[in-house]
Structure 1
Amino acid sequence: MHNEYFQISNESGIAHLQLNRPDRFNTMGLAFFTGLRDAVLTLDDAGDTRALVISSAGKHFSAGMALDVFTGTTDVFDNSSPRARLGFQHALRNLMDCFDALDQVRFPVICAIQGGCIGGGLDLAVACDIRICTTDAFFALQETQIGMTADLGVLQRLPKIIPAGVARQMAYTSERLSAERALAVGLVNAVLPDAEALLRHAMELAGTIASKSPLAVAGCKTAINFARDHSTSESLRHMALLQSAIFDTHDLAEAISAWHGERQGRFDALSPLTTRETGNPR
C-alpha cells in the first residue's frame, strides 16, 4: 500500500510502515491521519500481523503537522462561533482517534526514529509500544513555540513514559531532548549509530516478537495498557478475567516444545475482525 504520506508492506507477519515524504520532513497533512488509522486497523482486522515497525525515509522522522493545515483554507479549526467550536472539538477527537489506533491494535508497534521527532511526530511515537532511535535523533514538543498547546495525546502519554518533570519541561519550553537523554529517561529502549542499524534492530526486534504466540503477546499488550490507566487492584481483577478468556493450552504446549527443541514455534494467527466498517474507526 502506498499513498502521499507513507508506504506499507507486510511480510511473514511483520508489517513495515515507512513515512515517505522526506522532501517535506515527513510532515502530516489531514489525510495522513485517516490514512494511518485505516492502514493500521486493516492490518489488525486481518489477524495475521504479529508486529508493526514504523520508520521514515530521509533525514528526519517527522516534523509533525504540516503548517499549511493551520494556515490554509480548511475550516477544521474554525473557532469563530459556538457551532464552529463544536465542530472543531469533533474534528480534533477524530485526529486523536487516529493515533489511538496504534494503542488499540492487538500487535505491538515499534517506532524507529532518526533525526527530528517533533510535534505530531512525537504524538505518534509515544502512542507506540516501543521506541528506538539513532544517535542523531532529537525529540521536541514544538507546539508552544508556535503559540498552541499540544493536543493529540503526547501530554497524556508522555508523562506515563518518562518522569513527569521532564515531560513538563519539554512541553513548557519546546526544548529538544537528545537521543542520549531520551535513553536515560526511558523514552527510547536503544540508541543505534545510524538509520541502517536502526531499521535492522527494529526488524530483528519485530521478528523476536513475531516468533511468540500472538495470543500471548496480545494479552500482554492488553494487560499493560489497562494497568497504565487503572489501579493495581483493578488491573489484577482485569488480568484474572483476561487470562481466563485467552489461556490456550495448545499455544502453551507448542511454545514449550519449540523452546526445548530449539526450533521456531508454530502458532495460529489471531482471528480476523469483521465488525469494522471500512473507513471508520472501531
Structure 2
Amino acid sequence: MGTPEAGRLGDVTRVLAGWQDDEVPVQLHPGDVGWFWRFGAERTARATRTWSRAGQLLAVGLLDGPDLLRLAFAPGTLRDGDLARQVAADASAPGRGALPAGQVYVEAPAEALVRDLLAEDGWRDGDLWTLLWRDLGAPVPDPGVHVEVIGPEQAHEWAEVVHASFEKSTFTGERWHAMAAGAPYADARCLLARDERGRAVAAVAVWSAGQGRLGLIEPMGVHRDHRGHGYGRAITFAAARALRDLGSSSVVVYTPSTNTGAVATYLSAGLRRVSERRDLYRAAP
C-alpha cells in the first residue's frame, strides 16, 4: 500500500477514470476524489491509498472522512486473490494500515473479493446505500428553471447554497477554489439553479470520467429556504444534461438509503434504483 505525493495525484485520478465502466459495479469515481479536493491537494493525497503490482496500479482507496475507506479496483481484479488479501490486511491493521484505530468502515464494489475476506475476518454489515443510475444515450428533459454553469465569480453563491443544503456543512468559497484547482475538475462542472426572482436555490457538481464512461453527481443540494418547489428534480435534470454534453454514457449517484427525500428526488428526475448495498464495519476493540 502506498500514498501518492500531491504532485502525482492527478496521475492516479486519470487511471481511476479509465476504470469507470457501465458494465462493472459502481465504485470509487474520480469525482469522489475531486469533491474531496476541496480540502486541498496535500490533504487529498494523504487520504488516498494505492495498491500496485509490478509498477501497475491495481486499486485505489480514499479515506473519505476520518473512518470510511472507499475502494476501486482495476478491470479484471475484483476477484484477484493476492490483491484482495493485501487490501484486506491493510484495512484490518488498526492505526497502521489504510484506516485509523477504532470503529471504521469500508465501501467496496458488490462483487469484490475483499468484501468476502473482511466478512470472514469479523467485519459486519454497516450502513445501507442506494445506487441510482440513468442512461444518457437519449436526450434529457429541460430542467424548466434557469440553470447556469458557474465560474470563480459565482463561487461564493454556489458555496452558500451548498452550505445551506447540508447540515453541518463547512463548505466555503475558498474550498470551491481549492476543488476547482484539482486535476479532476478539468472534467467537471458546477451548476446553479435560480428561481424566477434570480435567487440561487439549488446547486450540483457533476464529474465526467471521460467520453463513453459513467459520470457522477456529487454533491446535489437545495437551499433549506427553497425546498418543496421541485428545484432538486430540476437541478438533477440539468446535471444529467451537462454530463451528456461532456460525453458521459450514464450518470450515477449514491446516497444513504435513510435519506428517503434524496432518493425520491433522483427517482423523480429519471434515475432508476440499480441496487442497494451495505458498507462493512469493524467495531472498535
TM-score interval, normalised by the smaller of the two chains: under 0.3
Larger Rg: 1
TM-score for the superposition, normalised by structure 1:
0.25
Q: As a proportion of its length, which structure holds more strand?
A: 2
Q: Which has the higher contact order (CA 8 A, sep 6+)?
A: 2
TM-score for the superposition, normalised by structure 2:
0.25
